[in-house]
Structure 1
Amino acid sequence: MADDVTRLERRRAAEVARRGRIFDVRRRVMGVDVPALELQVSERRRREETEVGVARALDALSLSHDQMYIQKQKDEEERKAELARDLVQYRAVHQRPEDSLDADLTCDLKGASMIAFSVPEWELGPASMQVFQGEGLREEDSRRAQMEETARTLRAQREESAKQRRERKHEELQAEMRMVQGDQRALRLQILEAECKRAARVALSSFNRAQAEEVRERQRKGKQLKEAEDRAEIAHTVTSDLLTECPDSAVRPGQEGAAWRVLTDRWKGLTAEQRGAILREREEQRAEGERRRAIDRRRELAWDSQWQEQGRAQEEAERRSREAERERRRQMDKYNQELSLSQRRHQQFLNKRLYTNQATDHYFSQFNSSSR
């Protein structure tokens, strides 16, 4: 009873705390419950870690069960083999065919042993006689010989079992030696592989150093060649006609039509032919400019007319589109009016015929009174 009361009080306290969180406008509207979210995250992580630990424990338990089952199977097989050997040894010692009552019939023996039967002769009737006069004279010798044969047989069996165990141990030792040799061979191969990798790294480092040296030498030679080319270019520029204005390259008598260089200390201006050539070239350029401008004006007029045609076509298309839009809007307004009328009629049906029972304040006050 006390546990029920405690549980009830705990639930009431949790309900009051939950109601405070739910009906807190600031927390509900402006943000989230960060501590609760962090608690959920930590619980989820702890649950995941627990699940991972349980899975690992189950895996380890399953592995141990499998090992126990395999060991139990081996023990059971060894126990069955031991029982079979004991049964064979017991039968060889205590259940020999020549010691049975019908040994003279099944084993073709004469004078079966009757030592086990210690029944007095006077208690046996005529029909119970199994040993007659003159029989069993050398019974002790034959029994001793049989026991010696049995002992030799058992000794041979023990020696054979010991030999088999020694052979098994030898085979196991050979297998372990082969495993050790294989491990040693694998270790040697790993050492050889490591040495090969080390030698390859050394060779690669040497090759990279040689390549780097070759690149540096090539760069040095290229730099020297570039410096030599730069010096030759500077010397050529200093000694060329660009700066020296060599008089030999100027127009000489009889070479007026040839290429000429302007010498500022000797130049007297343009000749009449040069001025005429310049004027003619300028007139040709002006005429060419006029012709191009005329072509551009005609092209612009053609483009303007084409743009006007396209503008008129676009205006016509826009006008048709506006008319179609106005028609669609008229149809939509008509449909909306019909839909509004239908909804008003349906609302009047709901208010006047269907929903005639109005809810009181008590009906609304029962909601939002709990956090659930």
Structure 2
Amino acid sequence: MMSGRKCSSPITTLAATDHKNVPPGGGGLFSVPVEGGDSFSALQAKATAFGVSPSEGGLTLPSWVLEEKEAARIAHRRRLLQERAARIHQPRATSIAVDVAGLKQQVEERRRQQEDDARTHEHFARLAATQDRAALLLQHKEVKDREAKGEELVRFWREEQRPERRREYDLNSHQHITSALYHLTFDGEDEGMRERLKAQKEQTRTWLQQQQQEQRRRHLQERERDRLEELESLGACERARQLAEAEELCRRAEQLAIRKYNQALSRAKESIEAAQREADLKTEQQELRKAVMGSFLTEDPTVARSALGPHRVITDRWKGMSPEQKKEIEAVRAQQVAERKHREEQEAREASRWEDLVARADRTALLATHTEHITRRNLEEQVKVENQRLAMDQRTQQERLNHLLTTNVPTDHFYDKFGKHPR
């Protein structure tokens, strides 16, 4: 009834637990140690010593057997992956393809990008040089204008604001003592008026001539200054033009030199690549000749013999096995198959016996658990009856104390005599 279901008893837990977790020599029914080196007869003897008899039946293998199988499967899978990685990364079987057209296109795009950057940089440099020259010309013109304004102001002070034209000049000058203008004379007594007027007119004409000469000299100076400024501006423009032409010539010479250098590098690279291709072609032809003329493609099995022993061969020269070797391998394989079949049958018998042993131990544990449960229930019934008897005795004792020994029970009137408040 209970042999066809899985039970979570201590025996099942023991079968599914590693034998390393069981303390050696532990007492009790469920401390049976399971070691990899013990035979089935030893396990049967231990089970008989603990009162468990083996019988036919079966559940599952122990956990340590499953762990060993899982470890073997993982090791086999890891070995297959390592062999596959070795075949994939073999240098002789690996080839790298190069997209020559794509590389040439990338080189051309990079060259065009560099030329565009160079043109942009050159345009910016020319624009910066032009703006610098314009700024210098504007600064020079501003300096010249400031100097001309200073000279004009000095000339205006010298010609239009002379000391003798000031209103207080007569008060500060000492020439009025000897001047004919301040002689104390009366009408009709000015005998030198004609000479004085003549002298005044002469002086006025002289002043006018001086002013005209100064004005003509000023115009000449202004014209000369304008001419010099124009010459300086033309010279600056000519120098800027010459500088721009020199920069253009330098840039062209530099581009020509770079182009020639790149062409020389390209020719050198092409010659190196041609030499490398010719060397590779010669190497391939030589290898092909050696493979055809050598013993690699022949059917001679002696080339695969190894110097390390008659049972070893050179794998890259292996040409197959002889009929005798094949028969020997078939015989060994048949013997191995028979041995494996016998071993599997023996393992199946031992597993069946072990599963029967586990099933019987499980049934024994269930019986012990049921017996313990019945015993504990009987004990609880006895404790319950004893507790009821003790409770009844205690109630009887309390009633005897309350009714027989205590006759004067205080009433509420007795307690009222002492007051109801603490003060």
- Fold agreement, TM-score > 0.5: no
Please identify which structure carries the higher helix content.
1
For normalisation by structure 1, the TM-score amounts to 0.39
Higher CA-based Rg: 2
